Amino acid sequence: MNIEQIYTGCLAQGAYYITSNGEAAIIDPLREVQPYLDRLKKDDVKLKYVFETHFHADFVSGHLDLSKKTGAPIVYGKTAQPKFEAIIAEDKQEFKIGNITIKALHTPGHTMESTTYLLLDENGKENAIFSGDTLFIGDVGRPDLAQKAADMTQEDLAGILYHSLRNKIMVLPDETTVYPAHGAGSACGKNMSKETVSTIGEQKKLNYALRADMTEKEFIQEVTDGLLPAPAYFGMNVAMNKKGYDSLDDVMKKGKQPLEIDAFQVAAEESGALILDTRSPKEFYKGFVPQSINIGIDGGFAPWVGAMIRDTNQAILLVTDKGREEETIIRLSRVGFDNVLGYLNGSFEAWKSAGKEVDKVDRISPKEFAQKFDKEKSKVIDVRKEGEYSAQHVDEAYLRPLSNINDWVKDINPNEHFFMHCAGGYRSMIAASILQARGYHNFTEIDGGFGQIKKQESVPTSDFVCQSKMLSK
């Protein structure tokens, strides 16, 4: 028996590849399935089942393509109602893979179809659980993502999750390994650990939601407290996972179209496509195609695409680093953005060499900011999250989280200059590109973000402040 966690950092997502005696199972696969097919061939094993823990909201799974290419059936838990052929497992139904057994444990709460898969080894011993979004390391799945679909409140779902955890998971042996679907950075929970593997025993000691003396009322209160709004694209991803989607092969064929400059311009004008520039902020600010939105491929790319663009049907034209076009299309497809029309052949260098109009972002170093900063006159906008701001921030800075930019952009006075930063420069450049695409140029973005600003002795900072002050600034 072999269990392999295939962890994708930019999504904070774990898929699982399990083999035993010539047969295999894959749990919660990514959208691109060719790496799985290559691995199956290399290991000379037959894929027997594709298991899905639930209808994922934060990414589009590869279950359909993988099933079509291998013939392996898709398995969902009790109450799931996919619009395609699948096995809907009853609670405690067992599936044989080689010499091991996978038992479906229906654990609703995160969603009503959520299922934890218990692996029984060759001797029938409880070896591991694949807990999906029911149990994370240090946290549990948020109960607010499926409330509309389930016609329940988040409190209703949290109560159901409380009993699923205590009746199905906490009763397992302490040495049982826990393999979750996500780790720190995922929006599917609020307090996940950076660790991606644990045991039932460790989680009973360390996970706030598994305290032995916790009442249902306390659980509901703690699990629902402080939940941030779900990203807009989550519902669209759920629909794709439930109803089906285009094959990634077709998505790639359409998106991998190199467009010369004139064709790129025509496509942008006629299709209403968004120009997405995935180069690093350090390159983008020096020059870019006007109206481009910058979301760097080497940051939290896919989640920020989903949070900023929101509509998965939006037509997209790409400007990427040379040689990273295919990677970008794949990573967009992971969160359901399949409508890529092509990419600028030769990247931005070709555009610039052709003498086309170029836009730039006014970016300065933290040292320059320290020299220009005047506490009484300078306005500073901090686009980090509330928790980051509350820990420490530039004195008198205004908190304006990037995720809420569509709400606060309308309050900007185009005649008033401001400085803008995040933690390191990634998010503030996203914000800068959005502002400039909407006609705002009255700001200066700070390279290196707060991480470098706080090293400047002449810039005063404030530590923890109450939430009311944060929101009023």
pLDDT digits (tens, 9 = 90+) for 436-468: 999 999 999 999 999 999 999 889 998 765 444
Give the H/E segment covering residue 97.
strand 94-97
CATH number at residue 421: 3.40.250.10
Q: Which pLDDT tens digit goes with each residue over 196-237?
A: 999 999 999 999 999 999 999 999 999 999 888 888 899 999
Considering the domain architecture, whether residues 204 and 255 belong to the same structural domain is answered as no
Considering the domain architecture, whether residues 47 and 20 belong to the same structural domain is answered as yes
- Count of CA atoms in the C-beta half-sphere (13 A) of 2: 12
Residue 320 backbone phi and psi in degrees, to 5: -125, 170
Pairing type for strands 94-97 and 443-446 reads: unpaired
Of 353, 376, 402, the residue at which a domain comes to its end is 353
DSSP β-bridge partners for residue 74:
50
Number of C-beta neighbours around residue 21 at 10 A:
12
Residue 191 pLDDT: 80
Closest by alpha carbon to 240, among 306, 178, 295, 154? 306
Considering the domain architecture, whether residues 421 and 282 belong to the same structural domain is answered as no
Considering the domain architecture, whether residues 269 and 192 belong to the same structural domain is answered as no
Residue 464 pLDDT: 61
Q: What is the mean pLDDT of the chain?
A: 95
Give the H/E segment covering residue 119.
strand 115-120
Whether residue 241 is contained in a domain is answered as no
Residue 134 pLDDT: 98
Considering the domain architecture, whether residues 219 and 321 belong to the same structural domain is answered as no
If you write DSSP's letter for every residue of 168-196 in order, what string do you get? Answer: IITTS-TT-EEEESB-TT-TT-SS--S--
Q: Are 66 and 36 in contact (CB under 8 A)?
A: yes
Residue 68 pLDDT: 98
- CA angle (192, 197, 202) in 5-degree steps: 80
Residue 465 pLDDT: 53
Q: Which domain holds residue 381?
A: 363-472
Considering the domain architecture, whether residues 339 and 371 belong to the same structural domain is answered as no
Of 236, 266, 291, the residue at which a domain comes to its end is 236
Considering the domain architecture, whether residues 114 and 51 belong to the same structural domain is answered as yes
Considering the domain architecture, whether residues 381 and 283 belong to the same structural domain is answered as no
Residue 112 pLDDT: 97
Considering the domain architecture, whether residues 166 and 50 belong to the same structural domain is answered as yes
Ranges of residues in the chain with a pLDDT under 70 are 464-473
Whether residue 40 is contained in a domain is answered as yes
Residue 352 pLDDT: 97
Q: What are the distances in angstroms from CA 465 to CA 354, 381, 384, 394? A: 51, 16, 15, 12
Whether residue 73 is contained in a domain is answered as yes
226: alpha, beta or left, given left = phi > 0 and alpha = psi -120 to 50? left
Domain count, the chain: 3
Closest by alpha carbon to 24, among 78, 58, 66, 68? 66
Q: Which pLDDT tens digit goes with each residue over 171-202?
A: 999 999 999 999 988 888 888 999 999 999 99
